[in-house]
Amino acid sequence: MEAEIGLREREQREVALSPQELTALRQVFASRLAIYATGEPGRYVVATGSVVGFVALPGGRTLVIEPKVRIDTLFALLAAVYDPCDDFLREEPQAYTTVRELFEFVVRIFAVQVEDLVARGILRGYRIFTDEPAAVRGRLLLTETLRRRPGLHDRHTCRFSQFTADVPENRILRWTSFCLQPLRYREVGLAGRLGRLSRALSGAHLDPMARQLYERLNYHRLNDPYRPALSLARLLLDGLTFSGSAGEEPFLGYLIDMDELFERYVGTVLRRAAPGWGALAREQDPHALDEARQVHLRPDITLYGRDGPILVVDAKYKREAAHADLYQMLAYCHALGVGEAVLVHPASEQAPSGSVAVRGPGSIQVHYLSLDLGGGPAQLEEQAKALAGAVWALVGRSPGV
């Protein structure tokens, strides 16, 4: 059998799979890959959707899904989403030609960033603990002590503060280093570096829920040096697919959802441009479609002016059949009470151009815009500026700006 099964985004190919490989793919990647039997034992058709990356299969083989866009363009999309202020990713040399090399490249940057933090001294902070120490410490919780240990007086429940390295920032970095360590890297020593980083951060709890800690993070003077490493950790954790087993490999693959990445890239472009228009761009804001507020909608991007919503934007990496996207935009306009909406597609999708003026009350117009992903990073940046300019032309007509 071939050591690497190579496919491209939105492609299908007949391949040979062992029973173990078939089970792993169907159990963990059923929502991302379609697998069909061919009638010949051991032969299956694997159909990819809009995910790119690689899957480490049982037995040592790897399923690799390359993107339709250039690898350096994929990196530019990731850099814009995860490093919107151009702090650390844009200046890195681009030493990659495949999606696996890109992944290893990002892991290497992550290791360098965390090594620098460890060398300077990791972050510590005060945390409140409720425990039963050997001696009374901090505040004695008498009611809790009697509830936990009635009739016993050898231990007491106390609440106390402790200066510790077990802070959310270190938990995120340690969990990321731990998850990345078992992978077989082409660069000799990279796995060892990740192992040393995990041990250097051992003062932090090894937290499988570390990815969720991002939602509660606030940057300040003390943890601001952690920003690049945490952004890279987020980029890596967002794509890791875990097996759920406690074996030597805590995850089976790294897959990037191009649908979501395209949506987030468009959101980043508009969010950065909106303050210059006197507007505010918010992503995935919830809105109710009905009077009873039982039917909820979440447009990709909502632009707000002084008096409320002025424009809704939806980014669609893949064009839906018939007019499903158009119907969705009409629902958004009615829910938000706006008269204009924008649908953004990649130029490769051959989406409609121009505008659709909808009949009926409300005078709703849906505008079609495209973003060409076919060039390199420089062309992508020019396309992003053109997209922002086209949206600004619509926003500028709104009386609420």
Tell whether 279 and 374 lie within a shared domain. yes
Q: What is the DSSP secondary structure assignment for residue 209, as one 8-state letter?
A: T
| Of the residues 115, 148, 164, the one at which a domain ends | 164
Element (H, E) at 117: helix 99-120
On whether residue 81 sits in a domain, the answer given is no
Q: 112 in a domain, yes or no?
A: no
Residues 159 and 36 in one domain: no
Higher-confidence residue of 183 and 119: namely: 119
> Do residues 16 and 131 both lie within one domain?
no
pLDDT given for residue 352 in this prediction: 77
107 closest CA partner among 222, 10, 197: 197
16: phi then psi, degrees, rounded to nearest 5: -95, 130
Q: Does residue 244 surpass a pLDDT of 60?
A: no
Whether residue 129 sits in one domain with residue 54: no
Given 112, 135, 164, which residue is the final one in a domain?
164
Q: How many structural domains is the chain composed of?
A: 3
Contact 367/314 with Cβ under 8 angstroms?
Answer: no
Instruction: Give the span between the Cα atoms of 145 and 155, in whole angstroms.
Output: 8
Residues 38 and 143 in one domain: no
| pLDDT category of residue 371 using cuts at 50, 70 and 90 | very high
C-beta separation of 64 from 254 below 8 A: no
pLDDT at 260 over 90: yes
For the chain, report the end-to-end CA distance as a whole number of angstroms. Answer: 61
Same domain, 264 and 381: yes
Residue 359 lies in a domain: yes
Residue 247: the pLDDT is 46
Instruction: Give pLDDT, residue 175.
Output: 94
Q: Say what the pLDDT of residue 370 is.
A: 92
Domain that holds residue 266: 259-395
Segment 372-383 mean pLDDT: 93
Whether residue 109 contacts residue 236, with contact meaning beta carbons closer than 8 Å, is answered with no
My answer on whether 131 and 56 are in the same domain is no
What does the mean pLDDT of the chain come to?
87
The per-residue pLDDT for 125 is: 87
Residue 84 pLDDT > 80 = no
Among candidate residues 66, 92, 115, the one where a domain is terminated:
66
What is the predicted pLDDT for the residue at 238? Answer: 93
> Does residue 270 lie within any of the structural domains?
yes
Residues 274 and 365 in one domain: yes
The confidence score (pLDDT) of residue 250 equals 53
Residue carrying the six token digits 């994929």: 74
Residues 138 and 57 in one domain: no
Query: Band of the pLDDT at 9, cuts 50, 70, 90?
Result: very high
Confirm whether 243 is domain-assigned.
no
Percent of the chain with pLDDT over 90: 53
Question: 111 in a domain, yes or no?
Answer: no
Same domain, 27 and 130: no
Examine residue 179 and state whether it is found in any structural domain, yes or no. no
CB environment 317-353: b (16+ within 10 A), e (fewer): bebeeeeebbebbbbbbbbbebebbbbbbbeeeebbe
Tokens of 165: 């390295």
- CATH code, 308: 3.40.1350.10
Average pLDDT over residues 103-114: 94
Q: What are phi and psi of 169, to 5 degrees?
A: -60, -45
Same domain, 263 and 365: yes
Q: For residue 254, is it within any domain? A: no
**245 has a pLDDT exceeding 50:** no
**Three-state DSSP class for 160?**
strand
Residue 85 has a CB neighbour count (10 Å cut-off) of 9
| Least confident stretch, 64-78, 203-217, 376-390 | 203-217
User: In 93-183, at which residue ranges do the beta strands (DSSP E only) sit?
Assistant: 125-131, 139-140, 158-164
Q: Are residues 271 and 387 in the same domain?
A: yes
185 in helix, strand or coil? coil
Q: Would you call 236 helix, strand, or coil by DSSP?
A: helix
Residues comprising the chain, all counted: 401
